[in-house]
């Protein structure tokens, strides 16, 4: 489909070739093909000073009777970025043509009365503008029929002839349509602020070969903005309503803890009424933000639009401390597929927002749904301590999830007071890694060396180094606090260096 710049606007070359200006003599053709938005007949030089850009200036016979007046008219027209100047056939001279060449402005001569040419051109411009209004009306009807932001962007992309459309929030792409951008010209439009919205930006990027008319593209974007806003707000209302069963999960346990036997009987019935099915298997997803970051309801709309990239049909509920979704999963599906998909689709965007994601284990039935929500939250809180954007599975953490709620600063202080030699050691990172491997393999030199991918004798030498910095490995009462301290120190080092992320999806791989 043609781009709007070619479909609903006139240009000098086209009108000269087969339009109202086909009878004029081209005295000088500018190096750039100018567009035509209007035409004006000028009877005095002061009028030219007020014409808008992209206007064809037609000099009356009176104004064009003297060479100096034509020269002055050319200069004024150039200053106003006029599309062209038309004069009577008998009033030009070589000096006037030379001036048009220096200014690089279209100059034409009319054999008949210039006012007749102006009237014919005005009629052609009016016809094209009428077509443009019809085209915009059809486009507006088309976008109002769409029900998602993404499909609206697709409609805009098609109408613009293959542009890349993106809706962004602080540089984060929330929705996109069209071919990948290749560095072509771009038009951007800030969307008006509204409740539960951040500052949104709508962008249209054309191919490198596109002759972009920014005004036309901006017009189409402005026409589409109300539809984007209404679809988003309608989606927010629908998502909020659909998230009610998920929202209830965070309160079900508290409501039923008064009587354990009552809870066992009531929970399945209550959850079934909320729409959960005992024959399905589920995984919970929790999105968390750092404790120091104030919770913002406005972020919910942003997150829900991002969430559609992961699970378009599963609502995201805004709950105390974050956002929760319950995903039905097939028994044959690998439990790791969900965190991998989240990492691939949205981890980089969540990292920019400062959020992290936790996923629960997979369980069947409805009795354990509240527990799944808590598993996902614990995993998300653990990921926050590592780095924003991480996707952490509770199944990988196990009881190690307890470290999500330890005070890293306090433990680091204790480490500095009790293990000063370790904290000052230049090879501290290697010592921490080797010690944890040794402890986690029940003090087996062989298994720990294999896990570290080093020779057993090498690990034996490193154990001597571990003891040199004051770490005691043979006092049972010291093993638990030592393991906790080293776990926190390792996490701190991870957060300040590589963060142990998969480069493809941001998923945490625990070692």
pLDDT digit string, tens, across residues 288-314: 988 767 766 678 888 888 898 898 888
- Is 54 within a domain? yes
- Is 159 within a domain? yes
Q: Are residues 249 and 393 in the same domain?
A: yes
Q: Are residues 303 and 442 in the same domain?
A: no
- Is 68 within a domain? yes
7: which residues sit within 8 A by CB, 6+ positions away?
135
Q: Are residues 50 and 190 in the same domain?
A: no
- Is 505 within a domain? no
CATH number of the CATH domain containing 345: 3.30.70
Secondary structure class of 27 (helix, strand, coil): strand
Q: Are residues 394 and 287 in the same domain?
A: yes
**Given the structure tokens 């997803």, which residue do they identify?**
285
| Domain stops at, among 401, 416, 438 | 401
For residue 365 the two structure tokens come to 């039935």
| Domain stops at, among 401, 428, 444 | 401
- Is 225 within a domain? yes
CB 500 within 8 A of CB 468: no
Range of the domain at 108: 4-125
Q: For 341, phi and psi rounded to 5 degrees?
A: -65, -40
**Residue 84 or 281, more confident:** 84
Q: What is the mean pLDDT of the chain?
A: 82
**Distance, CA of 416 to CA of 410 (rounded, Å):** 10
Q: How confident is the model over 155-183, as a mean pLDDT?
A: 88
Q: Are residues 345 and 386 in the same domain?
A: yes
Domain total in the chain:
4
Q: Are residues 151 and 53 in the same domain?
A: no
CATH number of the CATH domain containing 53: 3.40.1390.20
CB 208 within 8 A of CB 186: no
The dihedral of CA 155, 158, 159, 164: what is its sign? positive
| Domain stops at, among 370, 401, 432 | 401
Q: Which of 266, 289, 291, 372 is nearest to 327 (CA)?
A: 372
Q: Are residues 263 and 359 in the same domain?
A: yes
- Is 216 within a domain? yes
Q: Are residues 233 and 250 in the same domain?
A: no
Q: Are residues 354 and 387 in the same domain?
A: yes
- Is 46 within a domain? yes
Q: What DSSP element (H or E) covers 463?
A: helix 456-468
For residue 43 the two structure tokens come to 């009877």
Q: Are residues 298 and 379 in the same domain?
A: yes
Q: Are residues 193 and 335 in the same domain?
A: no
Confidence band (pLDDT; 50, 70, 90) for 152? very high
pLDDT score for 286: 94
Q: Are residues 255 and 376 in the same domain?
A: yes
Q: Per residue in 330-386, pLDDT tens?
A: 877 787 889 999 999 998 889 888 899 999 998 887 777 888 888 999 899 888 877
- Is 135 within a domain? no
pLDDT score for 412: 83
């Amino acid at each position: 489909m043609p781009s709007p710049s070619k479909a609903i606007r006139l240009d000098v070359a086209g009108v000269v070739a087969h339009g109202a200006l086909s009878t004029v003599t081209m005295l000088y053709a500018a190096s750039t093909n100018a567009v035509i938005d209007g035409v004006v007949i000028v009877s005095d030089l002061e009028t030219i000073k007020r014409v808008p850009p992209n206007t064809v200036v037609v000099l009356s016979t009176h104004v064009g009777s003297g060479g100096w007046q034509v020269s002055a008219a050319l200069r004024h027209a150039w200053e106003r970025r006029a599309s062209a100047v038309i004069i009577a056939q008998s009033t030009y001279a070589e000096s006037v043509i030379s001036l048009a060449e220096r200014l690089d402005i279209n100059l034409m001569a009319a054999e008949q009365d210039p006012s007749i040419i102006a009237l014919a051109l005005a009629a052609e411009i009016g016809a094209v503008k009428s077509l443009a209004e019809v085209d915009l009306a059809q486009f507006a009807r088309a976008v109002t029929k769409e029900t998602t932001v993404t499909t609206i962007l697709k409609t805009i992309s098609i109408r613009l002839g293959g542009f890349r459309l993106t809706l962004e929030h602080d540089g984060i792409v929330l929705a996109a349509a069209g071919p990948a951008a290749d560095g072509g010209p771009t038009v951007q439009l800030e969307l008006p602020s509204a409740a539960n919205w951040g500052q949104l930006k709508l962008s249209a990027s054309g191919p490198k070969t596109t002759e972009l008319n920014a005004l036309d593209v901006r017009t189409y974007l402005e026409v589409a903005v109300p539809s984007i806003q209404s679809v988003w707000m309608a989606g927010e209302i629908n998502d909020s309503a659909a998230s009610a069963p998920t929202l209830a999960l965070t309160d079900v346990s508290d409501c039923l803890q008064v009587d354990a036997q009552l809870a066992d009987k009531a929970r399945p019935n209550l959850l079934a009424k909320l729409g959960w099915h005992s024959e399905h298997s589920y995984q919970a997803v929790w999105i968390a933000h750092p404790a120091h970051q104030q919770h913002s309801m406005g972020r919910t709309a942003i997150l829900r639009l991002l969430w559609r990239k992961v699970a378009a049909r599963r609502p995201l509920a805004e709950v105390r401390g974050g956002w929760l979704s319950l995903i039905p999963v097939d028994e044959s599906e690998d439990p790791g597929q969900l965190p991998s998909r989240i990492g691939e689709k949205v981890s980089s965007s969540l990292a920019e927002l400062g959020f992290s994601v936790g996923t629960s284990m997979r369980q069947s039935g409805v009795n354990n749904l509240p527990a799944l929500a808590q598993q996902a939250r614990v995993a998300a809180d653990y990921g926050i301590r590592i780095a924003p954007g991480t996707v952490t599975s509770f199944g990988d953490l196990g009881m190690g999830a307890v470290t999500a709620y330890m005070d890293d600063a306090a433990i680091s202080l204790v480490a500095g007071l009790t293990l000063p030699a370790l904290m000052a050691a230049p090879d501290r990172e290697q010592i921490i890694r080797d010690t944890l491997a040794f402890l986690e393999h029940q003090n087996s030199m062989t298994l720990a060396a294999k896990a570290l991918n080093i020779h057993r004798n090498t690990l034996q030498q490193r154990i001597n180094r571990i003891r040199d910095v004051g770490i005691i490995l043979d006092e049972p009462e010291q093993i638990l606090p030592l393991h906790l301290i080293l776990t926190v120190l390792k996490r701190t080092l991870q957060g300040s260096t590589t963060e142990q992320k998969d480069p493809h999806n941001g998923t945490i791989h625990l070692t």
